[in-house]
Amino acid sequence: MAKITFITKDKEEITVEGTSGSVMELAVKNNVKGIDGDCGGVCSCATCHVQVDAGHTDKTGVASEIESDMLELDDDANEFSRLCCQLQVTEAMDGVVLNVVK
């Protein structure tokens, strides 16, 4: 079981728990504002953009090349940016804090 905290644009903090699937799916299931997941998680829409809270990046690892290519063209992207459909919910993610970008 991993606890994942989303902080939305209007500073609402939502902590949810999950065991499997992608972080995007977990967010959509829990109606986290700003995570749409339009493409269903195949790295095509960038509507699942989050920024990993500094200090938690070791939990999430780094983006793949295809994911980076997508993020490169997002005006709000920075070094902490990830597409959360590319993050799997695992024990290793427990406690991670993600800032929703939109």
Contact residues for other proteins, defined by CB under 8 A: 38-45, 64, 66, 69-70, 73
Q: Amino acid identity, residue 22?
A: S
Using alpha carbons only, what angle is made at residue 55 by residues 39 and 9, rounded to the nearest 5 degrees? Answer: 50
Q: Is the dihedral of CA 43, 92, 13, 78 positive or negative?
A: negative
Give CA–CA dist 48/102, Å, rounded. 9
Range 30-69, binding ligand FES (CB under 6 A) = 37-39, 41, 43-48
E strand or H helix at 72: helix 65-72
Min dist. Cβ of residue 69 to other proteins (A): 7
Min dist. Cβ of residue 94 to ligand FES (A): 22
Closest CB to ligand FES among residues 48, 77: 48
Min dist. Cβ of residue 22 to other proteins (A): 10
Contacts with ligand FES, residue ranges (CB under 6 A): 24, 37-39, 41, 43-48, 83, 85
